[in-house]
Amino acid sequence: MKTKTSILLFSLLAVLGLTASLQAGNWPNWRGPNHDGSTTAKNLPTKFSKTENVKWTINMPGPSAGTPIIWDDKIFVSSTGKKDNSLLALCIDRKSGKTLWQDKAGSGYRPGGDGSTSSLDNKSNYASPSPVTDGNVVVFFYGNGDLVAYTLNGKRKWASNLQKDYGDFTFQWTFSSSPTLYEGRLYMQILQRDEPVHGRGKQGNESFLLAIDPANGKVIWKHNRPSKANKESLESFATPIPFEGAGRKELVIVGGDVLTGHDPVSGNELWRWGTWNEGHKQQWWRLVPSPVIGGGVILACGPKKAPVFAAKAGLKGTHSGKDGQVWNSGTGSPVTTDVPTPLFYKGKFYVLSDLRKAMSRVDPTTGKVEWTVEMPGRYKWRGSPTAADNKIYFMNHNGEVVVMDPESGKILHKTSMGEQYDDNTRSSIAIADNQLFIRTNEKLYCVQ
């Protein structure tokens, strides 16, 4: 006869097994189920090409830096439309690669423009943010401010435009923060400069966070986030990252020369740490990498060859300098990143430097660099690395993909998935079950 203890243990193991299975099978946001670029998926391919170990390939309507999002048998992809200058939300059948539904999600809003998909710079487009899903709703965000929610079967639930609602964005480059779904709320961060840029926006613009009800699009709260940063250094293209630790839940936000933690229920600031910009002297330090959390620390990546900083997780109140800082990588270190968000996998950080063309493995407790590997080729490596099954996957501007051994840094495989003259390919590789989903400028590959 089973004891109560054995029954409880069996139930706990069953729940843990189901959780692991769900985690391995879905990639619900651009940094995956753990919000750190990793998953527990197994039996992933090491060697592949455009034709080898490819289950299916589908042509994309246009380029996008967004990462494919996977929930069960559905794949959600943002895209531009080359033929009609549209902004598109797509759902693709995971088994066959056929398009299940497609919607013109863009409202046509463009400050002083013609409503096209063209962004405000020549290095990006409005479809650069990744969609997000919780299995109940899927939300697409576009750099012109359009925020659109659907059922997983493609029925539009609601739509709004954040520039219409809160004023035109004031960014040097095209805004591309991805939305976050966490515990029944949708979160967006708008960390922008406080003065007009290129004739857009207004003096005194505020940076803020939004919590939105994903069922109906209604704003739950708006929290202003002040900063002492100046000009472009106020701008952040990062994504809110949930964190549970130190007996609480929080959203971690990076930008405006500081890291902050916020109560997900109210938006109130729980703590603040800074800065990588001493005295706020640098006025042109926009931030792209999102925070990454692991090993008891939170990484903030200074831009343009500045160091990577590790702040202590679980802080309270306001901190600066060495107060609250665990380590930093130091000036001139290969551990720096201007665009890619680092990976946390099996207790280590992996920092891909697009400017120094190197990948480094870093101990989270001490900041010790355990190895650094120079990246091949002449194109920039800007796709944020992802990992599972003892393999790290990432892609460069030309659509070249590298598979790396996380223990030694040895490159296990390199292959070209893009077209000959592709550039600005910046999507991360999504992982679900035993499959990779690789989005280039022109195609989406399912590799297994």
Q: How confident is the prediction along the chain (448 residues), in pLDDT tens digits per residue?
A: 444 444 344 334 333 443 444 567 999 999 999 999 999 999 999 999 999 999 999 999 999 999 999 999 999 999 999 888 899 999 999 999 999 999 999 988 877 544 444 455 667 789 999 999 999 999 999 999 999 999 999 999 999 999 999 999 999 988 999 999 999 999 999 999 999 998 888 899 999 999 999 999 999 999 999 999 999 999 999 999 999 998 999 999 999 999 999 999 999 999 999 999 999 999 999 999 999 999 999 999 999 999 999 999 999 999 999 999 999 999 999 999 999 999 999 999 999 999 999 999 999 999 999 999 999 999 999 999 999 999 999 999 999 999 999 999 999 999 999 998 888 899 999 999 999 999 999 999 999 9
Contacts of 441 (CB under 8 A, 6+ apart): 60, 63, 399, 418, 419, 422, 424, 425
pTM, full prediction: 0.93
Q: How far apart (Å, rounded) are the C-alpha atoms in residues 289 and 354?
A: 11
Q: How far apart (Å, rounded) are the C-alpha atoms in residues 268 and 225?
A: 9
Annotate 403-417 with b (16+ C-beta within 10 A) or e (fewer): bbebeebebeeebbb
Q: What is the pLDDT of residue 85?
A: 82
Q: What is the pLDDT of residue 117?
A: 45
Q: How far apart (Å, rounded) are the C-alpha atoms in residues 392 and 400?
A: 14
With beta carbons less than 8 A apart as the criterion, state whether 191 and 236 touch: yes
CATH of 21-447, picked from 3.10.100.10, 2.60.40.10, 2.130.10.10, 3.90.580.10, is 2.130.10.10
Q: What is the pLDDT of residue 108?
A: 85
Q: How far apart (Å, rounded) are the C-alpha atoms in residues 418 and 399?
A: 4
Contacts of 155 (CB under 8 A, 6+ apart): none
Query: Of 442, 403, 402, which is closest to residue 422 (Cα–Cα)?
Result: 442
With beta carbons less than 8 A apart as the criterion, state whether 213 and 186 touch: yes
Q: What is the pLDDT of residue 9?
A: 41
